[in-house]
Structure 1
Amino acid sequence: MPPTVAEVFREDADHPAERTSPLMQALLLGAADDWDAGGVTRAVLEVYAGDREGSALPLRFAAALHRLVLTGQAPELAAHYPTVGGTAAPELAWAPARRVLERQTARVRELTGQPCQTNEVGRTVPLLVGLAEVARRTGGPLQLWEIGASAGLNLLVDRFRFGEVWGPPDSPCRLPAPGVDLDLDGVVIVDRAGCDPAPLDPGDDEARLRLTASIWGDQVERFRRLRGALEVAGSSRVPVERAGAAEWLGHRLGAGSTAQAGVPVVWHSIVRTYVDPDEWRQVEELTARAGVWRLAYEPDPEPGARTVPLRLHGPGIERGGEVLVRGSAHGPPLSAA
């Protein structure tokens, strides 16, 4: 028997990342209790009760509420959202959130139907570690190709500033340094491209709103990073092709597609759960070709895993990949493998 909406929300609230956010805990657990009590949450979410596993329903619901906050349509809830200057306790957000649901039931239901689109730029911190390692082993330069690229922000990794160790000092997107010893001199990206089934244009106001709404409303640093990355994308946008991962990679890795003088590096971060298993097998087969490297930042499959490994796949590496570092669902902080 498939899990109920309440069970899905409680399971998500128990994930390590969500446990760092009192606001997410309050919203997800409050909605779960309200569902079980037959409250307004059922009217909002019942249409999505049969969504497939991995559709990120709790994150979509939270993004719908954050969007109303960002657009000034939920002022009583905004008081609990530090991203808009709210100072009331995030832990107490469920009561005003429930009143928003009662008043805007149809609107929240509609917004929750949008696909999950979290372009988490914090994941460029482990990406930088991986790029440095591929450059060290191959001599570079690199072609960076991202599947599940959303708005393509992470493809701009070399336009961001990482602590005081790498990147343009005047970049508006500032991230912590990886915290591990790296030789970054060889990280030169000569080509970058991405694909996504539903890409977003970072220059479009609606897309920018969807992306910012997907950040959790009490995680201000993540919010600032995203806004900084969107500013970078205003002058350094990377087109993201509307395509599935296997189809797109098959084209990129086809005859003559790697003619540029660069090492192909395929990158993906917390995207595997959204891809059909048969298609994912094709992705693994395609990236197992000679001369292709893959950086996978995906959660370990075993229950209760507390960190996310960055695995390097490539020539001479065993099928399971080589773990370089471990981080959080949002990237930093990193720890040694």
Structure 2
Amino acid sequence: MMDKNQSKRFIQFAAECQSSALYEHLSLHIAEDPELLELSSYAQKGQPMPNLIFGAVHYLLLNGKEHSLKNFYPSLVNQPETEGVFTYFKDFCLAHREEIIPILERKLVQTNEVRRCAYLYPSFCYIYDKVKKPLALIEIGTSSGLQLLWDQFSYSYGTGITYGNPRGRVHITSEIKGDSTPLLLDTAPPVSVRIGVDLHVNDVSNPEDKQWLQALIWPEHHERRELFARASQCVQETPIQLIEGDGVALLSQLSDQISTDSLICVFHTHVANQIPKEAKKRLTETIQEIGSTRDIVHLYNNMNDGDLHLDYVHNGKTYNHTIGATEGRGRWFEWNIVD
């Protein structure tokens, strides 16, 4: 018997993944296939089933599983086939069911969208201009910590001007929309601390972890793969403290370790949708508590809506800004702060 709720998840995913013709096509077929819906149900509670099943299959193919299915993946062949892919996909899933199930049961969807740094850069430029202190970064839901290196990358926003680190191995392009133009410093603000917390940290120096993160990148997204590869190299060259644990519970303790000469910057992107309601409440309360004794920044989305928000306490006064909408992978973002 087909699970209608599971089926709806794949139909919804198909509507949202229009930049992957392969996954859009497969999602619509999986939504009508009881065997593959049952297989997908092994995904951990709270994890997005479509991303996990596609990630698991991609992971096995990237690891060398020989099957005709690979001929449909742009990440694996230069001229992918297009006709009849679902038949091969289902055959692969059933043939490798016993390998796919453990992946669904233990792996998490933890994409590291490096291009999201395109809107982190102006956000941190803005706050540095206000407070003029080195930034102590604490990222909740850090995965492998790639976004903690936003200051190491260079950026351009369609004007022909490059900002950030001109010698950085990662260059990010994006489009700015909205009612205003952000302050973009020629060089990045100083960063004094880089701490990333996640329930499961992915170590890009570990081949299995790195391969899993690569598997979560959709097959057609060549530029995302290139950005990930370059940023992964940067992570291995830059001192970062990655902590496995509950970022909300650890926040006070971590903040206590940071000198008052630095500005605490708590941030998370596309993570809060997986944070329980009570934990979101605790996070807000903890930031307010820390803000009662020192300056602190909270940059986030998906707490209450999808917009990017910048809240901060400076000299005892609280400021709340809605920066605006962001494209899920950072290809564009709005800037609506008007000072």
Category of TM-score, reference length = shorter chain: 0.7 to 0.9
> d(CA) in 1 for partners of 2:191 and 2:286?
21
> d(CA) in 1 for partners of 2:206 and 2:90?
31
- Look up the equivalent residue of 1:70 and give its one-letter code: L
The one of 135, 144, 152 aligned to 2:137? 144
Pair 186,117 (structure 1): closer, same or farther in 2 beyond 3 Å: closer
In structure 2, the residue matched to 1:111 is 103
> d(CA) in 1 for partners of 2:120 and 2:67?
38
- Look up the equivalent residue of 2:55 and give its one-letter code: A
Structure 1 residue ranges, 4+ long, deviating more than 3 angstroms after superposition: 89-93, 167-170, 177-181
Report the secondary structure of 1:208's partner residue. Answer: helix
Q: CA deviation at 1:186?
A: 6.2
In structure 2, the residue matched to 1:29 is 28
Identity %: 20
In structure 2, the residue matched to 1:304 is none
In structure 2, the residue matched to 1:198 is 200
In the alignment, structure 1 residue 11 sits paired with structure 2 residue 12: yes
Report the secondary structure of 1:331's partner residue. Answer: coil
Kindly provide the CA deviation profile for residues 62-95 of structure 1, in whole angstroms up to 9, marking residues without a partner as x: 1111112212215422222222234225686423
* Mapped contact 1:173–1:225 kept (Cα < 8 A): yes
In the alignment, structure 1 residue 209 sits paired with structure 2 residue 236: no
Pair 284,299 (structure 1): closer, same or farther in 2 beyond 3 Å: closer
* Mapped contact 1:68–1:74 kept (Cα < 8 A): no
Alignment of 1:156-171 (within 5 A): 156-163=149-156, 164-171=161-168
> d(CA) in 2 for partners of 1:73 and 1:80?
14
> d(CA) in 1 for partners of 2:99 and 2:188?
49
Q: CA deviation at 1:181?
A: 4.2
In the alignment, structure 1 residue 44 sits paired with structure 2 residue 39: yes
Pair 327,46 (structure 1): closer, same or farther in 2 beyond 3 Å: closer
In structure 2, the residue matched to 1:174 is 171
In structure 2, the residue matched to 1:249 is 251
> d(CA) in 2 for partners of 1:297 and 1:126?
12
Pair 204,11 (structure 1): closer, same or farther in 2 beyond 3 Å: same
Pair 177,139 (structure 1): closer, same or farther in 2 beyond 3 Å: farther
Kindly provide the CA deviation profile for residues 117-161 of structure 1, in whole angstroms up to 9, marking residues without a partner as x: 212211111111211111111123211110000111110111222
Structure 2: give runs of 5+ residues left out of the alignment. none
> d(CA) in 2 for partners of 1:217 and 1:110?
22
- Look up the equivalent residue of 1:297 and give its one-letter code: N
- Look up the equivalent residue of 2:143 and give its one-letter code: S
Q: Which moved more, 1:67-76 or 1:154-163?
A: 67-76
> d(CA) in 1 for partners of 2:62 and 2:225?
12
Q: Which moved more, 1:194-203 or 1:273-282?
A: 273-282
Kindly provide the CA deviation profile for residues 172-228 of structure 1, in whole angstroms up to 9, marking residues without a partner as x: 322115645423246111111010001111211111111111111111111111111
Report the secondary structure of 1:6's partner residue. Answer: helix
> d(CA) in 2 for partners of 1:248 and 1:295?
17
> d(CA) in 1 for partners of 2:255 and 2:83?
48
Pair 123,241 (structure 1): closer, same or farther in 2 beyond 3 Å: same
The one of 86, 95, 98 aligned to 1:94? 86
- Look up the equivalent residue of 2:212 and give its one-letter code: R
The two structures have a TM-score, normalised by structure 1, of: 0.86
Query: Alignment length, in residue pairs?
Result: 317
Kindly provide the CA deviation profile for residues 290-314 of structure 1, in whole angstroms up to 9, marking residues without a partner as x: 211110033864xxxxxx5221011
> d(CA) in 1 for partners of 2:189 and 2:100?
44
The one of 17, 40, 64 aligned to 1:72? 64
> d(CA) in 2 for partners of 1:105 and 1:162?
43
> d(CA) in 1 for partners of 2:88 and 2:310?
45
In structure 1, the residue matched to 2:282 is 282
Q: CA deviation at 1:55?
A: 1.5
Kindly provide the CA deviation profile for residues 241-288 of structure 1, in whole angstroms up to 9, marking residues without a partner as x: 01102211021233xx23252111101011112222211111111122
> d(CA) in 2 for partners of 1:106 and 1:133?
50
- Look up the equivalent residue of 1:61 and give its one-letter code: I
The two structures have a TM-score, normalised by structure 2, of: 0.85
